[in-house]
Structure formats: structure tokens, C-alpha cells
Structure 1
């Protein structure tokens, strides 16, 4: 039998047959591609669903912890002050945004760690690898996407709901003080009222046994008011929180220019008005936490243009501006950290290990945040650096553990 010339044989095949063959070949390739993409879509949807379930569970867990803590703080402060029950309910309600703003990042870390740890323990990661999928890539995409989505949700709470809640909380708290001044005035205590200080003796329904009040006069001279039995009345005037009615007061005014010179005034009765502004810890009338990022940005520009601005006051606003971004997008950093930690340490008892690791890191992160908030507010440390250092630490740790995971 002679040899078959394949080139001549191919030339005898009609072009329409070749076209059909190429068409079928393309369809088969396209079908396989679509089938593969559909499998990836179902896998990603499954991973997102599992991540959301664990996130919501841990969101409720952290919310209850912060919520109970807030209730205990209010109860300890308002216990025995005869404050109307509805006032307490409103104070708790207006504090909810601050609780929510703290919850989302920690729920992301712990929830993702528990979910991915469970998948690792149940060998789902191994099954993905055996089926030809890249588990690191196919899990990393939904983890980062969901982390970014949660960060956006957290930023909305921090930038809009948190300031609105703070403003309402302050208004309701001032109303509560005007109804019952003893909310702020306690027995045998020293109370700082912005520039003023009040020292009280025994406080009862009948009044206060002893009062010492420190403030400054119009010339910034130190003024000390001492009185015996005194009483406190609610105020109805706008801007006035309470009236302090003093019996047999003695007023001593010390001259700051001449330490040997002073004035002494005695009276039978004196009424001291304590204004609402005494309970607002802000030299500009509005606390930085009560402002949105837009308002903070405008205030920072105004303060930078003012030569008389105290650097520490300016830094408080810069800290709050960066805190809204850094704390909100901490969820994204936590999501990235959760993946390698779960795959490295979640081979056995992944859910329990993820919970323990998540809680420990959350406590350390929370402590680090507050250390830099306090340090930044008391010094001239750059607000951006102070607020983003905790996230940078989490990000560096994430890359370090991710490189270990890739080597494994």
C-alpha cells in the first residue's frame, strides 16, 4: 500500500466541513470555560455566604459585649439618681452608633477566622486544591471583597451615624442634668467643669453639706467660693444647666499679679449658675466626635489658618479625622490577616482556634488604638501616623503570615 499524503488529503476536505469542525471546537472550549466559570461562581458564592454567616454571628457577639458594657457604665453613673426610665432608654439608644462603629472590624477578624478555620478543619481547602482550584486565590477574592464592603458599611456608621448619635446623646444628657442635677454632682467628689472645678461634701436630697468652687474672674484672677449647706435647683433658662444656691458663702479673689493682694467677700446667700457648656469638653463648642469627615476637614483648615490655635487642640481634630478612616478600614486589614492565620493554625479545631486568636488580636488592637489616641491627644504626634500605625502593624503581619502560607 502506498503512503498517504496528508497535505493532499486535507486539501480534498471541503471547507464547510472544516468550518463546522472549528465551530464545534470553539463551542466545546467555550462550554468548558463557561462551566469552569460557573463552578468558580458557585464556589465564591458559597464562600461569601459562609463568611457572612460567621461575621453576623460574631457581630452579634461583640455588639452584646459592648452593649452590656455601655448599660453597666450608665447604670453605675445613674443608679440612685432618680432619673426617669425613658431618659435612660434614650441615652442607651443614642449610644448605639458608637457601639456599632466598634463592632464591625472585630467581627470581621473573628468571624472570618472561624469560618476559614472551619473550612480548613473540614478539609474543604484540600478538596478545592484536589479539584484543580487555587484555594488561596479563590478564597482571597471574596475575603477582600467582603472586607471592603464591611469597611464601607463601618465608615458610614463612623462618619454619619456616630456623630449624629453623639450630638443626640449630649443633648439628652444635658436635659437629664437639668431635670436632675445630682446626675453630675456626687458626694465627696471633685468635678472638673471645663475651666472650673467644684468640690462637694455629702450630697443628699436636702442638698450639699459643703461646697468649694474654683474658677476665674473676668481678669483671669483665681476665685475661690466656699459655702456650707447648699442646695441645687433645676434651671429653666436656656443654656443654664443648674442653680447652686449657697448659704453663708465666702468669696476669695487672688490677684495673679500680686500674690499678697486679695479680696474677700461675704454674703448670706448666693446663687451660682452652672452653664451647660461646663459639661462640654471642647474649647470650640463641638466635640470632634460629633463632626463628619467633611466638617472635620473644614475645621482643620480653619484652625491651621489661625495663628493662635493650640497644637494639641488641632491634633485632636486630626486624630478624629484619621480615626474614622483607619478604624473603619481596619476591617479590610483584618480580612486579609484572617486568611493566612486560618489556613496555618486552623488545621485542627479551626472554629475554636479562630475564635481565640480573633479575640486576642482584637483586644491587642483595641489597646493599641487607645494608646495612640491618648498619646496623640496629649502630644503633637502626627494624627495620621498615630491612627494608622495599628492597621500598618496588622497589614505587615498579614503579609508575613501570607508568605509563610505560600511556602507551605
Structure 2
């Protein structure tokens, strides 16, 4: 089966075409700046070197329909494409950020599912509307194939109520759905299953702590292949310190800022989501820049590193206590896969718990995966490259085959 994976945002469309069940990527790319004066399509044909395979097209892209048409055209283009025509595509998988409580699993798209996504969109007003636009356009372009939606929040729907509820008046949960939902679920699910394969054990037997570290970051406790707790909350703002997001703070800070600085609720929200986190501490959001500044003696860059590692350690420790026994800690995503100093700082001092890091292995560059704990460490530490597109394609294929 050839599965087209679509991740549609408010002004962009990311895509990847995969040959399933092998999971081999055939082509991938992104449409950006939809609705602006000039948009771009960046397309990569697999396999081949980036220089040989990369194609960039610049032109006005007024809406998602135009963007999706560009994608389908280039996929079947005689020079840059990988298929003869779009009839070779057997299914389309769509990433949707928020499924609320309505969606605890991937779903075959129909009008009822579309209405359900629209119903929970107030929980993700910056993300779900763009996903809906992509779904509607793709359904029109591919009317004869099955479309499946895979939700970032679905993997976390196994979290018990005692862990996902906020200590607010219960009526607010009933009326507005205010609770913790968690995100990055597709990534946490993929690396959990991949870690089980690498450890040679069924995922149902394992207790894992998966650590997804990128510009957005989250930590998840996975028991028997199911999420039982996660660091993000009702929105992706909560939890560990991120590139521009504050992570957890005292909620009274919001009213304090409003009173002392005369800030509106929207201004405080913008501060917490766009001007805080690493960039708020040291003026930089990219860990590569932070490391370079640290090496030149920048004290605030050093503080930013120490703060982010401290917060990650807190969550790993908390989830260790929840799980009772941990078989492996698994790092993934851009920082988790590529930053040995953050990994080292995130697990330092855990030797009494049975986790011993192999510093030489940790300093190596990770490939698709690597083990960075010592051979005699009772708790394994793995670095696993995430592949959310492959996970979406797998779940899309399973749904379509089960129709």
C-alpha cells in the first residue's frame, strides 16, 4: 500500500508518501506560507542525495486547495515524482493535534468524524482548523480512497482520571473539558514500540519513560505500552522548559503580571508561549546556539541548560515513582536524539536507581538508534529516532485493512 501522510497547519502542509508495510519513504516535502504573497513548495524525492533530489517551487499559494494540488502534481510529475498518477495512492493519513476526549484512537474519516474534530477545535484553535482544511481538500482530491485521522492526544487517553484531572471545580471539566490531554502521542507511541523491539521484549511487559525533546518537549510514563502520565497538559504549554514555552509555572504569576505590568490575558499568554522558555532565559531557543554561548562563558546560557535538565530530571523521577519499576529511559526528537549534554544532565545522579550512563557511548552521534547505558546498567538508556509519519502510516494502513 502507498500511504500519503498529511500534516496540515494554518499556513503549511507537510507531507510524506510511504510504501507500506515496509515503511520506505518515497517522497516528502512541505508547502509553506499559504495565504501570503509568495509561497513555497519544497519537495524531496527518496532515495537519493539531498542535492540531487530536492526541488523548490516559489509561487503564490492562496489556500490549502492550491497547496494540496501542488503536492499531488509533483508526486506524479515525470521528472520529480515517484508515482505515475494519484490512483496509485491507497490511503491518506492525517495528523490532528487535538482529539479531546471524543477520540481515543485513530478514526476513519466521515462527516461525523469531521464534525467531531470541529467540535473539539476550541481546545486547539491554532492547530485543528488547519488540519480540518487539509482533510476537506484531500477528501475532494482523493474521493475513492480511505482517509484516517491520527490524533496527538489519543495515546494519552489511557491516563487515569486521578492523573489527568485538575483540582478545579469539577463543573469546569464537565462544561468545558478542562483537563490534561497530553501531546506528542504519536511520537511516544512509536518510540515505545521501537524500544520494545530493540530490547527484544513485548511492549506489554515493559515500563518505559519516553523523553521527547525538541522545540516542544514532553515526557511520558508508558506502562505495558500505554501512557499513564505525561508532562503536557490541556495545551502544549505545560511541563518541561521548551524553546519559547515556559513549561510549568505558578499560576498566580498570570494575575501578578496582569496587575503589576498591566498586561492582558492574551499578552500574558503570548509571553508564556512565545517569549519564555530557553529564549526567555538566555535569548536563544536553539540548543546549538546555547552550547556555543556556554563555551564562550555566557552564564545565562549555562543557566538555561541547567534549568532544562533539572526540569526533565524532575519528570523522569516522578514517573519512576509512578511506574515503580523502569526498564528503559528512551530519548527522542531533535534535542533528545542529537544533544549528548542534555541527555547527560537529564539522567545525572540516577545511579542509585539503577541507571548508569556510558559517557563515551552518549558522546557518539546517534543513527537510527543507539544504547547509551553501560552494559551492566539494570535500567537501559536508549536513543531512538522518532518517525511520526511512519506511525501515522501504520495506523492508517491498519484502519483501512480492517474496514
Task: State if a TM-score over 0.5 links the two structures.
Answer: no
Higher relative contact order (CA 8 A, sep 6+): 1
What TM-score do you get using the length of structure 2 for normalisation? 0.24
Q: Choose between structure 1 and 2: higher helix proportion.
A: 1
What TM-score do you get using the length of structure 1 for normalisation? 0.24
- Higher CA-based Rg: 1
